[in-house]
Amino acid sequence: MARERGERSDRDRQPRERDREESELIEKLVGINRVAKVVKGGRRFGFAALVVVGDGKGRVGVGSGKAREVPEAIRKATDQAKRGMIRVPLREGRTLHHDSNGHFGAGKVVLRTAPAGTGIIAGGPMRAIFEALGVQDVVTKSIGTSNPHNMIKATFDALSQVSSPRSVAARRGRRVSDILGKRETGAAGAQEA
C-alpha cells in the first residue's frame, strides 16, 4: 500500500523541529582537563570536558566527555548533557520556588530564592547552571569541595528537590490556595494604624 504524503512530511518535520530546539539551547563549557593514560610506551594524553546545557526556560543538563582532541570531548559532553536534561519549575520565570540543599560526595550547596533585581550570586560551575537554566535571581553557597564535578552534581541534587506549589497541591489532593494560604491583608493594615 502507498503511504500518504502527509504522513511522510510529518516524519520529516520532526527532526527539523528537534534541530531547531537544539539550536536554541545555551551551552556553557565549565572546564577542560588534560588527562593522561599510562601505557607501555609512555603516556597518551587526552582531554576531559564538562559542559552544562539549558534552554533558558527551566530545563538544564550536564555532561562530561573524554577524547584525544578538545572539540570531540566537548561534543561528547554536549550530547550527554542534552540526553540528561531535567525540568526545574521556576517562580515567575526568574527564581526558584523555595530554598533547597543538595550534596554529592564532599560537595554541599545551599540554594536560596531571591527578590527581583538580585541577580545570580553564585560562583564558577553553579553560575553556569543557573545561566543555562534561565534563573535571574538566586543566592547560592557552596560548602566543602571546590571540585566542579561534585559542585554540579550537588546543585542538580538540590534542583531536583525543587517543586512548584501546583505539583505539591496535586500530590496532596488540595488546591493551590490551600497550600499557599491566604495572604492576610488585615494584619498588615492593623500594623499601619
The DSSP secondary structure of 23-51, one letter per residue, reads HT-EEEEEEEEEEEEEETTEEEEEEEEEE
Query: What are 69-119's pLDDT values in tens digits?
Result: 999 999 999 999 999 999 999 888 888 988 999 999 998 999 999 998 889
For 145, residues 6+ apart whose C-beta sits below 8 A from its C-beta are: 105, 106, 107, 151
Pairwise CA distance, residues 110 & 141, whole Å: 5
pLDDT at 92: 86
Are residues 81 and 52 in contact, defined by beta-carbon separation less than 8 angstroms?
Answer: yes
pLDDT at 77: 95
Q: Which residue has the higher pLDDT, 115 or 6?
A: 115
pLDDT at 46: 95
Q: Which residue has the higher pLDDT, 117 or 17?
A: 117
Kindly report the CATH number that applies to the domain delimited by 25-177: 3.30.160.20
What cell numbers appear for 2 in the block?
502507498
Q: Which pTM does this prediction carry?
A: 0.78
**Does residue 1 carry a pLDDT above 70?**
no
pLDDT at 152: 93
Pairwise CA distance, residues 31 & 150, whole Å: 13
**Cell 550527554 found at:** 80
**Does residue 18 carry a pLDDT above 60?**
no
Q: Which residue has the higher pLDDT, 191 or 117?
A: 117
